[in-house]
């Protein structure tokens, strides 16, 4: 098993980096979705106040 890790270290690093970037992308997607919903609510409240 140790031999596998020493021979394929670059692929293990690549897999870890891809997982990190996928998590970051998912986090940014959810933040964007929540922000859009919040912006929509603010616009609706401003239209109701006028």
The 10s digit of each residue's pLDDT in 8-48 is 889 999 999 999 999 999 999 999 999 999 999 998 888 87
Question: Does the pLDDT value for residue 2 go beyond 90?
Answer: no
- Confirm if 5 and 12 have CB atoms less than 8 A apart: yes
Q: Which two tokens stand for residue 7?
A: 């021979």
Residues in contact with 5: Cβ distance below 8 Å, sequence separation at least 6, in sequence order: 12
Question: Does the pLDDT value for residue 50 go beyond 70?
Answer: no
pTM of structure: 0.71
Question: Does the pLDDT value for residue 5 go beyond 70?
Answer: yes
Task: Round to whole Å and give the CA distance between 38 and 36.
Answer: 5
């Amino acid at each position: 098993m140790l031999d596998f890790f020493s021979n394929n270290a670059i692929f293990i690093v690549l897999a870890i980096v891809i997982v990190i970037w996928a998590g970051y992308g998912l986090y940014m997607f959810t933040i964007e979705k929540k922000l859009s919903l919040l912006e929509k609510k603010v616009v609706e409240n401003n239209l109701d106040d006028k």
